[in-house]
Amino acid sequence: MLFDFYSKTRSYSEEICKPLKIEDYIPQPTFFISPPKWNLAHTTWFFEEMILKQYLPGYKQFHPRFNFLFNSYYNSLGERTTRQSRGDLSRPTVEEVYQYRHYIDKHMQILLKSDKLDSILENLVLLGINHEQQHQELFFTDLKYTFSLNPLLPAYNENALCEDGEDTYKEFVSVESNIYEIGYQGEGFCYDNELAHHKVYLQPYEIRKDLVRNGEFLEFIENNGYHRFEFWHEEALNWLKENKITKPWYWFQQDGQWFQYTLAGPKKLNPDHILTHISYYEAAAFAQWKSCRLPTEFEWEAASDQFDWGKRWEWTESAYLPYPGYKKDKGAVGEYNGKFMVNQKVLRGSSVATSENHSRKTYRNFFHPNMGWQFNGIRLAK
């Protein structure tokens, strides 16, 4: 059964690459984007380096340089290609990377069908699967970013992840002050940053049931919101100025009309659709303009049964910090979360690009406040 989960996840990574041309596997236009080829190899490397090399007796590595080439950020596993140079590598070819995947899959099958499977190993495999699901989401958001820079504005797929709407409208839910329980509890898989389960006292608050729409954000723009310093953090103002930002990343105007680039190609902007690809800086400024604020991650979690979520990663006001009693895992796996716990913001929920079974209400995603290339949205609180 673990092998079934493994297999399905691995197949899905290859399935979503089908619309690609070989050329699309290569470019990396900026440091935070990974090329599809690198994604396919790096998720495979995780199983080889963390699992097969440790647990499958007699395992022979596929290629002596692949540990160097496809390590992302694990300092304990040795040196690695610099993060900016992933797009400089034409070799190994795409075909060789698929061979690498199938070689690993074959050996993982041997391991997973053997009687070696204790709970430590099982947890590692689950981590590897969840890791690959994260990269499936990144596949979509990275490709969207790269394609959006191409003057030809290519489409990935005519039906892909079209931007979308919602039913309820601008209603707020009220939540009472109380002690709430926060963090993951139970037996399934979760990341170490969702532990330990603990108590938080919340003052009374209100939180909106639906997410902010394109039309509302357009009003902010038309109200000169990007140029009214009183709504913005000081660092946000510098970011706006240095990058000349006056609108969400994928929006553009042509002949007086607003469009947004989507994975189905450029589309006319629909004011009722849910706003997406917004940075924390923009989210926070928008909220201030609305005389609201963003919820904290605790407010979000405590109220999460009272609204629909799952279409956008939702920025919170909370900084990404360890929960009280947080323990990071030993060894390379311990580098997964803890070392990023400074200068980032927590996002809650999940998005249209998130893989199936890869979301829960205790999940803590995190990004730097200037990042908007994920399917990020805004939920207001007050």
**Which structure tokens are listed for 60?**
């022979």
Q: Which of 57, 151, 188, 256 binds a copy of itself (CB under 8 A)?
A: 151
Q: For residue 181, how far is the Cα from the chain centroid?
A: 25
Cβ atoms of 243 and 291 within 8 Å: the answer is no
Cis peptide before 35 (omega within 30 of 0): no
Q: Which segment (9-17, 183-191, 243-251, 336-344) binds a copy of itself by CB under 8 A?
A: 336-344
| Amino acid sitting at position 242 | E
Site for a copy of itself, residues 30 to 89, rule: CB under 8 A: 37, 65, 68-69, 73, 75-76, 81, 85, 87-89
Shortest separation between residue 137's beta carbon and a copy of itself, angstroms: 20
**Where does the chain show beta strands of DSSP type E?**
172-175, 178-182, 198-202, 205-208, 251-254, 257-262, 265-268, 313-319, 345-349, 365-367, 376-377
The residue count for binding a copy of itself (CB under 8 A) is 68
Site for a copy of itself, residues 159 to 198, rule: CB under 8 A: 177, 179, 198
Nearer to a copy of itself, 91 or 106 (CB): 91
Shortest separation between residue 176's beta carbon and a copy of itself, angstroms: 13
Nearer to a copy of itself, 23 or 115 (CB): 23
Q: For residue 137, how far is the Cα from the chain centroid?
A: 6
Query: What is the per-residue DSSP string for 62-97?
Result: S-TTHHHHH--S-GGG-----GGGGGG---S-HHHH
**Which structure tokens are listed for 177?**
């002050």
Asked if 224 is part of the footprint of a copy of itself (rule: CB under 8 A), the reply reads no
Query: Binding pattern to a copy of itself, positions 192-221, x when CB under 8 A?
Result: ------xxxxxx-x----------------
Nearest partner of 346 among 359, 363, 361, judged by Cα: 363
Q: For residue 121, how far is the Cα from the chain centroid?
A: 25
Shortest separation between residue 333's beta carbon and a copy of itself, angstroms: 12
Asked if 21 is part of the footprint of a copy of itself (rule: CB under 8 A), the reply reads yes
Helix (H) or strand (E) holding 146, with range, is helix 119-149
Q: Which segment (102-110, 164-172, 224-232, 251-259) binds a copy of itself by CB under 8 A?
A: 224-232
Shortest separation between residue 293's beta carbon and a copy of itself, angstroms: 8
Looking at 205-256, list the stretches that DSSP marks H as alpha helix, in order from N- to C-terminal side.
Answer: 214-222, 234-243
Number of Cβ within 10 Å of residue 225's Cβ equals: 20
Asked if 341 is part of the footprint of a copy of itself (rule: CB under 8 A), the reply reads yes
Nearer to a copy of itself, 53 or 233 (CB): 233
Looking at 291-378, list the stretches that DSSP marks H as alpha helix, in order from N- to C-terminal side.
Answer: 297-303
**Which structure tokens are listed for 87?**
């797009």
Q: Which of 54, 90, 157, 243 binds a copy of itself (CB under 8 A)?
A: 90
Q: Which of 4, 23, 115, 242 binds a copy of itself (CB under 8 A)?
A: 23
**Which structure tokens are listed for 295?**
């919820």
Number of Cβ within 10 Å of residue 352's Cβ equals: 18
Query: Binding pattern to a copy of itself, positions 282-321, x when CB under 8 A?
Result: --x--------x-----------------------xxx-x
Q: Which of 54, 61, 114, 150 binds a copy of itself (CB under 8 A)?
A: 150
Query: Binding pattern to a copy of itself, positions 97-136, x when CB under 8 A?
Result: ----------------------------------------
Shortest separation between residue 45's beta carbon and a copy of itself, angstroms: 14
Shortest separation between residue 322's beta carbon and a copy of itself, angstroms: 7
Burial class (CB in 10 A: 0-12, 13-18, 19+), 3: middle
Shortest separation between residue 296's beta carbon and a copy of itself, angstroms: 8
**Where does 24-182 show beta strands of DSSP type E?**
172-175, 178-182
Q: Which residues bind a copy of itself (CB under 8 A)?
A: 21-29, 37, 65, 68-69, 73, 75-76, 81, 85, 87-94, 146, 149-152, 154, 177, 179, 198-203, 205, 229-230, 232-237, 280-281, 284, 293, 317-319, 321-322, 324-325, 334, 339-343, 345, 369
